[in-house]
Amino acid sequence: MRLIYAALLLWSINVLADSSLAVSVTNGEIRQPMPGRTVTAGYLNLHNQSTQAIILTGASSPAFARTELHQHSHKDGMMRMEKVEQITVDAGGSVEFVPGGLHLMFFEPAAALEVEQTVPLSLQFSNGQELMLTLPVVAMPKR
């Protein structure tokens, strides 16, 4: 029974947050880096249940040397990926981190990442609060 409970918690993303932070995450994942690559991306849905906007200012994970907030944009007829300093989530709103849009970039994994492994992640907000969660590693989709 314990094993089933633990698996359900990991599958649904284990959020270990301070209950005063009215933020939740769903559909989170980190893609397994392609062979020979030291960079990968992560995606999630960030929900703000509070009555005030929140500002995500950073992310970090002990599983990677560096984590950045990124977005894809279309400029001068070309798709570009660029680092962003912050992401605002309106009161009662949500922001999706998806391929081709906002996403997390992870650089230089500390060790090889295996599919179904979980990775700790911290999201930092402008008010000094932090959301601690665990995301599963998933296989890179086949093209």
Residue ranges, the chain, pLDDT below 50: 1-19
Check residue 51 and report its DSSP letter.
Answer: S
By three-state DSSP, how is residue 108 classified?
Answer: strand
Domain 2-138 has CATH 3.40.630.30: no
pLDDT at 20: 59
% of the chain exceeding 90 in pLDDT: 74
Q: What is the pLDDT of residues 108-131, one digit of tens each?
A: 999 999 999 999 999 999 999 999
Q: What is the pLDDT of residues 73-86, one digit of tens each?
A: 777 888 888 999 99
Distance CA 93, CA 48 (A): 5
pLDDT at 16: 40
Question: In the chain, where are the structural domains located?
Answer: 2-138
